[in-house]
Structure 1
């Protein structure tokens, strides 16, 4: 192992520790239970903020996954707290789904079944089961998987629908966030369903689940990967008619490594070979979005030829894994050099050296984007996972 790689592993180990310290010390809600719903960029807790299921599921995954590296009982304890809170207050045992959000006092707030959120719950629960062998965690994960297959899967055209009411009826607003197109099938949700199913398959070797993962990867290959541009297509109607949208550099590079990992977990040699090629294709296309400082721009709109000139925290984290993964496939130093340069960018502009954790991001002029430190979308999953993945990959 080179000195430079050793140094990177050491720095990422320190950073993982810093991330876990921040979430351990600052986000435990001692008053209302669970975790704080929102902390702003000045590190001020927003009292009585709503609590999101995605944030809770991602905390559950991060501390469960980190425990496998750190072996610290304190991390396992926080994972247990996240599991108990999710199973008690977010999991809807009456209808078999998951509340999108709850009020600070644990009462349900937005009770829609957003499939993206169910996927993250499966992802977190299966990771927690791996460290705890708590049968209840596995049972809920399997139940959520079965509900997705029952209600969200499209048996005619393949793929998965976005969202439903609490009792699994159709819903007018399918969007994950305000910036998304209101379409029935999206890249983002499919990416995280297959991620969740693959994580569940690691602990529950069910043949039907395995074939669902394989079909999902084939569906993603058919509809979402644009082999001409090397970018992902993002939004479709139920019949796979595309609604053209932006290029999302962060999703491109996240998919590059994550889909290959899912193919490996599914143990399908044909898909592994194909997704190795897609990993290189998507990574090469991501070069378009890398600035001279090593940071990855957020999005690009080909329709208006406009760059969304912001550098958010999560695409940087995904770039670290994606480019390292392509370095492993190709053994070409140019990909590893991007990792080093991007990590330098993160240390300089994205890490909050004063308060801990990562800033939301920066504008083109390097001023801070004044958004959450912790909240519905700001969580320890992307940056924590980048540290975990690279630590494990450099080690092996």
Structure 2
């Protein structure tokens, strides 16, 4: 039986509390400082694993965003801890970038400037500034924004380049992860730059920054949204020649609501209208990835006509926001029903009822994907944000 709106909201509140409780109680690294680099699928804390910039930036964002909802001093403490740790160990004071990863002792490990990591750090810092009013957090975010504009922005052909060395020189391996294509311009990085810039604009309404957000939204419209099928195009070279790849259902539905929010943040009526239309069209396209159990499949390879038959945690979380947003725009309750069905799927298969938090995902036979409970890519941001957004919107 599908939950009613009020029971869904209370279940989401309960789940948010559970997610935050897990990270408060399990993620703090009392041995080395900051946060543990990895908790594996067996709940074993790996104190000697490298620590990733993205994990730490997302912890900063999550607890900064959650604190106004919870007023829990432990959540403010975790946000403070994340800010201090990023400021002390991930920020490269010599060259003004963000280390991709550090050793457990805090020394730099992978020193490349992956623009995605700078963007997430801006996103976390600006959210933290909202609750702390610490000028050093805002100034660090502004400094990183200037670094992205100086080094990553393509002044000739528009858009943003993926990655650089520590010294801001060209780098051969541009990939975010092993599964990604080694291309110079990607949907994922553009999506998270504009997300970060919009969050910065909320606390620092700079005219030039606003023009950069406007430009990013136009670039994404031109290159990354497929106007035929309303899926996202993922990879391009520096000349905007596409390298065809998979359909990523999670990125589709994340972009659907997030880009609309960015347009709303700068209050650009034309772009708001454009991205509201896209929000519904992309939500409809994402339905192709839904299974009969309410779960959202991970990816589809159109060339091979092959489904990547896994259901990862984060696309489910983004589905909640994207479909609730489509319901708000259209008042069509079909979208809300999809959220309710997916919530039941998540409760049945992804939430770890024994230890808390969510499993990485399940295969088509519902066996667990044995990857991190917390780690380089397994963070409280997607599911935490989904709960926060639903509490706002419902």
Bin of the TM-score, shorter chain as denominator length: over 0.9
Match runs of 1:219-258 below 5 Å: 219-258=219-258
What corresponds to 2:356 in structure 1?
356
Alignment TM-score, normalising by the size of structure 2 = 0.99
Shift of residue 362, structure 1, vs aligned partner: 0.0
Task: Provide the rounded CA distance (Å) in 2 between the counterparts of 1:263 and 1:6.
Answer: 29
Task: Provide the rounded CA distance (Å) in 1 between the counterparts of 2:141 and 2:13.
Answer: 29
Does residue 298 of the first structure (1) align with residue 298 of the second (2)? yes
- Classify the secondary structure of the residue corresponding to 1:86: helix
Aligned length: 393
Q: Give me the CA root mean square deviation.
A: 0.9
What corresponds to 1:15 in structure 2?
15
What corresponds to 1:88 in structure 2?
88
What corresponds to 2:389 in structure 1?
389
Task: Provide the rounded CA distance (Å) in 2 between the counterparts of 1:268 and 1:8.
Answer: 33
Q: In structure 1, list runs of 5 or more residues that go unmatched.
A: none
Task: Provide the rounded CA distance (Å) in 1 between the counterparts of 2:47 and 2:342.
Answer: 35
Whether contact under 8 Å (2:29, 2:47) holds in the other structure is no
What corresponds to 2:26 in structure 1?
26
Relative to 1, partners in 2 of residues 1:32 and 1:244: Cα closer, same or farther, differing over 3 Å?
same
- Classify the secondary structure of the residue corresponding to 1:362: strand
Match runs of 1:290-329 below 5 Å: 290-329=290-329
- Classify the secondary structure of the residue corresponding to 1:287: helix
- Classify the secondary structure of the residue corresponding to 1:226: coil
Whether contact under 8 Å (2:301, 2:307) holds in the other structure is yes
Match runs of 1:1-396 below 5 Å: 4-394=4-394
- Classify the secondary structure of the residue corresponding to 2:285: helix
Task: Provide the rounded CA distance (Å) in 2 between the counterparts of 1:43 and 1:10.
Answer: 27
Q: In structure 2, list runs of 5 or more residues that go unmatched.
A: none
Shift of residue 308, structure 1, vs aligned partner: 0.2
Task: Provide the rounded CA distance (Å) in 1 between the counterparts of 2:9 and 2:78.
Answer: 24
Deviation >2 Å, runs of 4+: none
Shift of residue 3, structure 1, vs aligned partner: 8.0
Shift of residue 47, structure 1, vs aligned partner: 2.6
Task: Provide the rounded CA distance (Å) in 1 between the counterparts of 2:267 and 2:147.
Answer: 24
Deviations 1:59-81 (A, max 9, x none): 00000000011111110111000
Alignment TM-score, normalising by the size of structure 1 = 0.99
Task: Provide the rounded CA distance (Å) in 1 between the counterparts of 2:68 and 2:384.
Answer: 13
- Classify the secondary structure of the residue corresponding to 1:180: coil
Task: Provide the rounded CA distance (Å) in 2 between the counterparts of 1:339 and 1:375.
Answer: 27
- Classify the secondary structure of the residue corresponding to 1:355: coil
Task: Provide the rounded CA distance (Å) in 2 between the counterparts of 1:238 and 1:284.
Answer: 31
